[in-house]
Amino acid sequence: DGGITQSPKYLFRKEGQNVTLSCEQNLNHDAMYWYRQDPGQGLRLIYYSQIVNDFQKGDIAEGYSVSREKKESFPLTVTSAQKNPTAFYLCASRKQGYGYTFGSGTRLTVV
């Protein structure tokens, strides 16, 4: 079955470390997205990619980086420059003209 997979489900990071969150989709969707969700709040866009080797900043890109070397993969790196990284991170993909399909999320905690 086609879908979008995020890993790991839970991730713990020490202060000052970079960590990378994985997002893989086999839906043949062109566009992929990363969102951040804080407790009790909605989704805020971090980065998005419309096509391989191209990506754009969203509303809260500072302290994050992404790459899109393959259509299926859109990893997100949370760098040490992100001062408040503890959050729930959601990856999504989209076929043009349709809604998003979301992954099951990664909960990142700074310890």
Partner 1 sequence: GQQLNQSPQSMFIQEGEDVSMNCTSSSIFNTWLWYKQDPGEGPVLLIALYKAGELTSNGRLTAQFGITRKDSFLNISASIPSDVGIYFCAGLNPTGANNLFFGTGTRLTVIP
Binding site for partner 1 (CB under 8 A): 6, 31, 40-45, 48-50, 56, 58-59, 88, 90, 92, 94, 96-105, 107
Q: How far apart are CA 6 and CA 39, in angstroms?
A: 19
Q: How many CA atoms lie within 13 A of 19 on its CB side?
A: 21
Q: Residue 91 is which amino acid? A: C
Peptide bond into 39 cis (omega under 30): no
For the CB of residue 80, give the shortest distance to partner 1 in the complex, in Å: 25
For the CB of residue 50, give the shortest distance to partner 1 in the complex, in Å: 4
Query: How many other CB atoms are there within 10 angstroms of residue 21's CB atom?
Result: 23
**Of residues 18 and 104, the one with the C-beta less far from partner 1:** 104
For the CB of residue 40, give the shortest distance to partner 1 in the complex, in Å: 7
54-57/43-51 β-pairing: antiparallel
**Of residues 80 and 88, the one with the C-beta less far from partner 1:** 88
For the CB of residue 16, give the shortest distance to partner 1 in the complex, in Å: 27
